[in-house]
Amino acid sequence: MYCRCRIAAPLFSGERGRRWTNCPVGMDFSGSGRGGCVGESMTWLQALVLGLVQGLTEFLPVSSSAHLRIVSSVFFGDDAGASFTAVTQLGTEAAVLVYFAKDIWRIVVAWFTTLTEKVSARSREMVPITDQVTTKLPIVTAGGVPYGLDEDRQRDLDYRIGWYVIIATIPIGVIGFVLKDQIRTGARNLWLVSFMLIAFALVIAAAEYYGTKRRPIEQLTNRDGLVMGFAQCLALIPGVSRSGATSSAGLFLGLEREAAVRFSFLLAIPAVTASGLFSLPDAFAPAGEGLNASGPQLLVATLVSFVVGYASVAWLLKFVSKHSFNWFVGYRIVLGLVIMGLLAGGVVQAT
């Protein structure tokens, strides 16, 4: 009985990278002692580098999954895998949770309190008017201070944003679950990755050119949330970029660049967290081709992505307040062309 596996080509044999061969099941051609059908162990250096790459690229519109796929293949000779990518993204999402902690807490509180009030108001409509309490108490903040007009508007905005995030997360949850096998296999082909880097660079450039960028986050609507939610589904393909897809959709809808980016960060939290938790069993018990990280290596890579990711969030928000996404468009196109050249020259393998 045979399976497809990769073995390392001798360093000075004239062969580049790794080559495919048919391995008898249970036999070891990799020197790992685990059998030819199991990928090789990840080194600590590889785990640290990939964690750094994840933290640097997660929030930039350049696709962190594409960069992990490219770096692991070009420099380490094999794919780190979709599960490793999903788990290390938990580190960068933790960075978002810390950076936006006050905003997130305010949104959660506003969502629950406003929803409770609406349910209570609906139940009071069923009480005879003579039995209703007519004294209207002031709505107060967590510190006991009555909401002013601006505070009341802020709470309404936070309540709406909470709903928009929930509704916009449904599409990627459904599509990601249905297509999970394709996402982990065919979607990681480097020809597809490099093509999407270039193609979506043009989409980002078009969003910058045609977007009016006049609407602040206060004017966010349910339609905006849904459109950006469906745009997030494109990020299931490495090379698209989650922040690039959702922010571009926001720009096309006329949102200010910073407003689009902020909502993009909030929108990613449920989807990325769910994906990372869903991938934990596969990541901690790897089986198959590619680089396999141990539990401690995954933990360290995730911590590195958290630290670097926090700095990246702060930098990007300052950057987009004064600069356009076009700075990243040129980089994406150059990187895509370079990878295509390496693929055409046989320097790296597409799968």
| Both tokens assigned to 15 | 């062969």
Query: Is-contact 171 233, C-beta < 8 A?
Result: yes
- Angle of helix 190-210 relative to helix 242-252, nearest 10 degrees? 30
DSSP 191-229: HHHHHHHHHHHHHHHHHHHH----B-GGG--HHHHHHHH
User: What's CA 49's distance to the chain center, in Å?
Assistant: 18
Q: Please give the backbone phi and psi of residue 347, each rounded to the nearest 5 degrees, phi first.
A: -70, -40
Helix (H) / strand (E) containing 114? helix 101-124
Residue whose entry in the numeric block shows the structure tokens 């299931």: 236
Q: At what angle do helices 242-252 and 257-284 cross, to 10 degrees?
A: 150
The kind and range of the H/E element at 248 are helix 242-252
The pLDDT of residue 199 is 96
- What does each of the 351 residues of the chain score in pLDDT, given as a tens digit? 444 454 444 333 344 444 444 454 444 444 444 344 556 788 999 999 999 999 999 999 999 999 999 999 889 888 887 788 888 999 999 999 999 999 999 999 999 999 988 888 776 666 554 444 433 334 444 444 444 448 888 899 999 999 999 999 999 999 988 888 777 777 889 999 999 999 999 999 999 999 999 999 999 999 999 999 999 999 999 999 999 999 999 999 999 999 999 999 999 999 888 888 887 777 766 555 567 888 889 999 999 999 999 999 999 999 988 889 999 999 999 999 999 999 999 988 888
